[in-house]
């Protein structure tokens, strides 16, 4: 009698916001998980609850260096994702995307295993097409302050597709749009975490511009489901494929919802728009619907309520 062994999965950036939820999900699905992270923006706390799981292993590792482990699948999520973090050391950000992709693709090639890249809606830059479909090539400033992230991620996509064309690797590229939920970094300057933390602390909520710029917010569980479905597709499905929530809200509407759900009396303050901040961003998820049978299910109010609970608890613990 043969026993099938669990699928062994490497998650780079596994101690981060999305990575830690992916580790949870993979373990729940019966996989063995190696989580590799250099803890730049991720924390041990994000995966502390997995410490005693025999199927979970945490490695301190920087993906700009090669890694040799034996696995059956790779999810490459390592990269700081918010402007405050990726602009902190922009050269390192590009290295993480580009050298990280080369190292993880090299590992995937050596092992002949599928590899999924956490790409981003930022590859579309400040888009001139709404909503964005995967065949839109983007409108990206190559020399601005966001370029280390945007161009790094674009180059990583190029590498993924060249490894596919040149070496026949099984690749999956997900273009992730704004995702939120528990375990976001409380001080990453991202709009959901910033608004929720300010509201809970009764501090002013800073809205950039007049708040009419729109965003689409995907709840983390929906996103992770999309990544799992993408990894499970046949070899011919490579992406790039948008994953995000197509419901569009203005930043001002988000602020108002956060105020309502927290019951906070925080005032709204308006400040100048940061450089290269996109005016509108909304995914077209028709391809994900068609190829993955996927679409987001969590309404903004429900996801925000869970996120608010998390930050409320975190802020109480931090005193």
Ligand X SMILES: NC(=O)c1ccc[n+]([C@@H]2O[C@H](COP(=O)([O-])OP(=O)(O)OC[C@H]3O[C@@H](n4cnc5c(N)ncnc54)[C@H](O)[C@@H]3O)[C@@H](O)[C@H]2O)c1
Question: Could you list the residues that contact ligand X (CB under 6 A)?
Answer: 12-13, 15-19, 37-42, 62-64, 77-81, 96, 100, 118, 120, 176, 178-179, 185
**149 flagged as catalytic:** yes
CB of 209 to ligand X, least distance (A): 20
CB of 141 to ligand X, least distance (A): 18
Question: H or E stretch including 302?
Answer: helix 300-318
CB of 191 to ligand X, least distance (A): 10
Structure tokens at 79: 């990269």
Euclidean distance between CA atoms 25 and 257, whole angstroms: 29
Euclidean distance between CA atoms 109 and 70, whole angstroms: 12
Residue (64 or 286) nearer to ligand X, CB: 64
Residue (120 or 132) nearer to ligand X, CB: 120
Which one of the listed residues 149, 163, 180, 219 is annotated catalytic?
149
3 state DSSP class of 151? helix
3 state DSSP class of 205? strand
CB of 93 to ligand X, least distance (A): 8
Number of other residues whose CB lies within 10 A of the CB of residue 138: 16
With CA atoms as reference, report the closest residue to 118 among 40, 169, 174: 174
CA distances (Å), 117 to each of 123, 163, 258, 284, in order? 13, 12, 31, 19
Contact 180, 192 (CB under 8 A): yes
Residue (20 or 262) nearer to ligand X, CB: 20
DSSP string, 20-64: HHHHHHHHHTT-EEEEEE--SS--GGGGGGGTT-TTEEEEE--TT
Contact 44, 15 (CB under 8 A): yes
Residue (80 or 131) nearer to ligand X, CB: 80
CB of 3 to ligand X, least distance (A): 33
Catalytic residues, which ones? 149
């Amino acid at each position: 009698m043969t026993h099938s062994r669990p699928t062994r999965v490497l998650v780079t950036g596994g101690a981060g916001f999305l990575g830690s939820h992916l580790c949870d999900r993979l373990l729940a699905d019966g996989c063995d998980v190696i989580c590799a992270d250099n803890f730049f923006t991720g924390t041990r706390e994000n995966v502390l609850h997995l410490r005693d799981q025999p199927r979970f292993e945490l490695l301190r590792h920087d993906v700009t260096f090669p890694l040799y482990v034996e696995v059956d699948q790779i999810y490459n999520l390592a990269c700081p994702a918010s402007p405050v973090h990726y602009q902190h050391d922009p050269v390192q950000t590009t290295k993480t995307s580009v050298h990280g992709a080369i190292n993880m693709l090299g590992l995937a090639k050596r092992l002949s295993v599928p590899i999924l890249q956490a790409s981003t809606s930022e590859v579309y830059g400040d888009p001139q097409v709404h909503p964005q479909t995967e065949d839109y090539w983007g409108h990206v400033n190559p020399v601005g302050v966001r370029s280390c992230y945007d161009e790094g991620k674009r180059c990583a996509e190029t590498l993924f597709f060249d490894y596919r064309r040149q070496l026949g690797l099984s690749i999956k590229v997900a273009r992730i749009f704004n995702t939120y939920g528990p375990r976001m970094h409380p001080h990453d300057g991202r709009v959901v975490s910033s608004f929720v933390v300010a509201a809970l602390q009764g501090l002013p909520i800073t809205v950039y511009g007049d708040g009419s710029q729109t965003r689409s917010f995907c709840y983390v569980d929906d996103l992770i489901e999309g990544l799992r479905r993408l990894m499970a597709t046949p070899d011919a499905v490579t992406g790039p494929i948008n994953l995000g929530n197509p419901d569009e809200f203005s930043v001002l509407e988000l602020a108002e919802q956060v105020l309502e759900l927290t019951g906070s009396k925080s005032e709204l303050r308006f400040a100048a728009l940061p450089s290269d901040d996109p005016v509108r961003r909304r995914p077209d998820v028709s391809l994900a619907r068609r190829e993955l049978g996927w679409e987001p299910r969590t309404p903004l109010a429900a996801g925000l309520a869970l996120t608010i609970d998390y930050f409320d608890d975190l802020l109480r613990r931090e005193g």
